[in-house]
Amino acid sequence: MKSTTETTIAKGQAQTTRIGVFLLRVNGTTPPGVDYAMLAEYAAKLPGVKTVRTIAVSAAMEPEKLATDIRKAKLNTIVLAAEHPGFYKPAFARALALAGGDGGQVRLASFAERGDGGGAGRAREVLTSAVRGTPNAPAVAPSPSAFNTATLVIGGGVAGIQAALEIAESGHKVYLVERTGTIGGRMAMFDKTFPTLDCAACILTPKMVAVSQNPNIELLVLSEVQEVSGNIGQFTVKVLKHATRVDAAACVACGDCARYCPVTTASEFDMGIATRKGIFIPFPQAVPNTYMIDPAYCNWVQSDGKKCGACAKKCSKGAIHLDAKDETVEFAVGNIIVATGYDALDAHRVERYGYGTYPNVLNSLEFERLTNASGPTGGKIVMKSKKLNKKTKQEEWVFAPDGEKPKAVAIIHCVGSRDKNYNSYCSRVCCMYSLKFAHLVREKLPEAKCYEYYIDMRAFGKGYEEFHERIREEGVYLVRGRTATVAERDGQLYIHGEDTLDEHLITLPVDMVLLSVGLQPSQGTAELAEKLCIPRDDDGWFRELNYNSEPNSTMRQGIYVAGVCQGPKDIPDTVAQASAAAAHALRSIVGATAHATAAQQKTVEIAGTPARP
């Protein structure tokens, strides 16, 4: 008799909701003002809840392990409770899917965003709503008078610049935090933009100057976000500001210091194909337009002030303070826009293309610098030539304006993209920038032959297909097939691949190979995601709240994403998304200020619970 009842229950389970409540312990701590033991006791009594567990979570969670637990308890719905449980949602969703459930059935009970200030009673309400699946209005928005109208923009590329300008020009304060010594980002490195072939600098530099001149924008270069706490309207941000060791107000960028600096190293802005000094300015149009010292390449810093110091002595403005220290600044903002962009895939990883072994195999950003008028050859496309390094007494391959011109250039698409061995996604911009490269080669070297090895030509945007047609007509050879190898025999590069339309193998002698490397999240994206408690997707990009309807928002209110850090995209899309992210921030700012003028504090009503002041 007993067994029959059990069978009935077991059969019924397929339809009933079996909820597992997970109280997350992040870095060993529980949310302030929330007692997990009491909350667990309360949650266990809620309808449908089968298990309540308090578990420690980390950024590197193993969905497989979780899946075993979920399968054991036969759960089909999961409630995650923490200050910011959204960060852990992807891991649990995958685990639930692995356990045979619907990965969409992960609900969040976020104490920070929905229960702030409510104490234990409020925590119970938040959890109850999540367990019941009823909407729970965000209770977090501070009273309009307390809503901070400043915005933090992380990343000073074209997306960050655009978002900062949109907000600043509507009269609100913006903190623009940039890791390198100048804003401009990747776009500042480019020579031309596709498909219009506009000069990239002509579009970007006016915007950069506008940033430097806007009184509403506080620009923090050489700075990194260290800590973010609080919620929408009331974030507190800690930023580590590395010392530039040059007084920006006094420096006139005359360059005397760099002339006397004895240390030379590879220029990051030029992707290593040109050199800079220990005291340097990334490029002549940099914003802020001041020199800075790289402590790793400064004799004075490395010797604790015992050696050198030539720059400080020579500076006629007395702008150089070699002993300046890094500082941490703290400020409050109401919204955060993340625009951290991308890094190019490390082409060394694709060993068979010989990047790093053969001098004239370049990645795409290196070629951008080579062909840029502010690059090491003044924009001339030449091959590397052997020059004697006077210091090390060794011969080195370097770009020099008098280098030999290549007679044949090959461009290889999809390097590290659409490839399960590297990144399986399409990086979206490579086809078009490769066509642009082909155009630049044919324009600057009409005698040179140019071959493009592509798999599929993705000319998806407005005017892109026409651009593709135009490049074809310019006499570029488009070969459908992926190059298998790049080899060198007797100083001559050969690329070997199949022309899949002709079904023949071809081995071509070329002088220069350009690798159209894919995009990947910029270094530090994972750490930033953890600091902001916003999740990333499987490819490492920041996860948007909803792919179609909320591509700018994250799981956390008041934190928005713009540009490539959300997924590969071209410049027009990046700029559009940045403006949209700014609109999100402005919406909350304007909403708060409008309320404040109405001098009427609205209470937030929660379904099924009495309104709170």
Partner 1 sequence: MAVRVNPELIDDLQHFGAKDAVKCYQCGNCSAACSHSDDPYVFPRKSMRYLQMGLEKPLRSALDPWLCYYCGKCSEQCPRGAEPGETMMGVRRWLTSEYDFTGISRLLYRSWSSELMAILVVAALTGVGFLSYGYLGGGGKLSVYDGPGAFLPPHAIHVFDWTMGIILALLLSINCIRMWHFTMRNEHATPVRPALYVRYLLLLPVHFFTQKRFRHCENKTPWTNHLILMLSYLTMLTLIMVFLKQMQEGPQVNWYAHTFGYLSAMGLVGTTIFAIHGRIKKDAAYHRHSHESDWMFLGLLLFVSVTGIVQHILHRAGLPMAANITYVVHLMGVVPMLALEVPFSKWSHLAYRPLAIYFAQLQQAAQAEGALPFGGPAEAHPAA
Structure tokens at 388: 């004697």
Q: How many residues bind partner 1 (CB under 8 A)?
A: 22
Query: Residue 500, interface with partner 1 (CB under 8 A)?
Result: yes
Helix (H) or strand (E) holding 218: strand 217-220
302 to 341: interface string for partner 1, x by CB under 8 A: ----------------------------------------
Question: Is residue 418 near partner 1 by the rule CB under 8 A?
Answer: yes
Task: Name the residue among 612, 604, 437 with its Cα closest to residue 517.
Answer: 437
The yes or no reply on residue 456 touching partner 1 (CB under 8 A) is yes
- Rule CB under 8 A: choose which of 38, 373, 505, 594 binds partner 1: 505
Under DSSP, the state recorded for 189 is G
Question: Considering only residues 352, 386, 387, 587, which one is a binding residue for partner 1 as defined by CB under 8 A?
Answer: 352
- Show the binding pattern over residues 356-395: x = contacts partner 1 (CB under 8 A), - = does not: ----------------------------------------
Binding status of residue 486 toward partner 1 by CB under 8 A:
no
481 lines the binding site for partner 1 (CB under 8 A): yes
DSSP state of 102: -
- Please say which residue, 500 or 603, places its beta carbon nearer to partner 1: 500
What is the Cα Rg of the chain in Å?
28
Centroid of chain to Cα 536: 11
Compare residues 376 and 481 and give the one whose CB is closer to partner 1. Answer: 481
Please give the Cα distance from 318 to 298 (Å, whole number): 18
Question: Which of 341, 403, 497, 535 touches partner 1 by CB under 8 A?
Answer: 497
Instruction: Please report, as residue ranges, which positions from 398 to 417 form the binding site for partner 1 (by CB under 8 A).
Output: 414
* Alpha-carbon torsion (142, 241, 337, 589), positive or negative: positive
**Considering beta carbons, is residue 238 or 482 the nearer one to partner 1?**
482
Is the CB of residue 542 less than 8 Å from the CB of residue 338? yes
Q: Is 580 in the site for partner 1 (CB under 8 A)?
A: no
Closest approach, Cβ 414 to partner 1, in A, equals: 8
Identity at 486, one-letter amino acid code? V
Binds partner 1 by CB under 8 A, chosen from 69, 247, 419, 474: 419
Residue 421 touching partner 1 (CB under 8 A):
yes
- Binding flag, residue 349, partner 1 (CB under 8 A): no
Q: Which stretch binds partner 1 (CB under 8 A): 40-48, 183-191, 195-203, 493-501?
A: 493-501
State how beta strands 449-454 and 198-199 pair: unpaired
Q: How far is CA 519 from CA 142, 215, 344, 577, in A?
A: 38, 34, 5, 18
Neighbours of 394 (CB within 10 A): 8
The reply on whether position 538 binds partner 1 by CB under 8 A is no
User: In 267-353, which ranges are E strands?
Assistant: 275-277, 279-280, 292-293, 327-333, 335-338, 342-344
Establish if 483 lies at the interface with partner 1 (CB under 8 A): yes
Query: Could you tell me the smallest distance in angstroms from the CB atom of residue 423 to partner 1?
Result: 10
Looking at residue 530, its amino acid is E
The answer to whether residues 369 and 380 touch, using CB atoms and an 8 Å cutoff, is no
Using the rule CB under 8 A, which residue among 482, 494, 583, 595 binds partner 1? Answer: 482
Distances (CA, A) of 219 to 211, 284, 418: 8, 18, 37
Residues that bind partner 1 (CB under 8 A): 352, 414, 418-421, 455-456, 480-485, 496-500, 503-505
